[in-house]
Homo-oligomer: A and B are copies of this chain.
């Protein structure tokens, strides 16, 4: 099995665009149109599909429905995935309050925090004390967790999650988590993403100045 993060990201994007096209009433699509919509070349689109055994019709493009069906299964959209969020601070709260995941088969089912003040079992999405994580995860067979605790606590909370048999973690703490080989860790470093923008804005500016002066 190919384990290439970038191709999966593209698949996610293809899917999103295809859903929109489908909503607009279209039933087929060409690689160049899809590529344009996602920002990649048509060859990239065809190769991505080809490598995953997805084929279209010469001259007729791809059937959107077929593509969506394949992407559904590749991306694991054929079942609902239950997710817990650990750390109900600024970010954790934003995530559990966001309602857009549901329609994508991602259901945030519970939050956990170490602060008793954050606990509230009557929320739309209940928030429990961290101590209950292990039990909850085992009983409900949760495989995916979001980690949104302060950096200093992140590794220890990660360990707890791993011990509870969570198999995939989306991490927002600005540290590199250590976890067993069979646990998937995907970290989003928000500060770094912002720094990236700043860097390129600076770089652009310098380039332009140089251009003007030359």
Residues of A within 8 A of B (CB): 1, 3, 5, 8-9, 12-13, 16, 37-39, 74-76, 81, 83, 90-91, 93-95, 97-98, 100-101, 104, 106, 143-144, 146, 167-170, 174, 176, 182, 184, 186, 188-208
Contacts and interface: CB of A to CB of B under 8 A. Distances in A.
A182 to B, nearest CB: 6
Nearest to A73: B202
A36 to B, nearest CB: 10
8 contacts: A12-B196, A13-B189, A39-B176, A76-B202, A90-B93, A101-B194, A143-B201, A167-B204
Contacts of A100: 174, 191
A78 to B, nearest CB: 10
Contact of A186 (B104, B182, B191, B197): B197
A9 B174 CA distance: 12
Nearest to A207: B1
Nearest to A81: B198
> Which are the 10 A-B pairs with shortest beta-carbon distances?
A168-B201, A90-B94, A168-B197, A94-B94, A184-B200, A76-B202, A12-B192, A167-B201, A90-B97, A186-B197
A123 to B, nearest CB: 14
B206 A184 contact: no
A13 B168 contact: no
Name, among A9, A13, A190, A203, the residue most crowded by chain B CB atoms within 10 Å (CB to CB): A190
Contacts of A205: 167
B186 A193 contact: yes
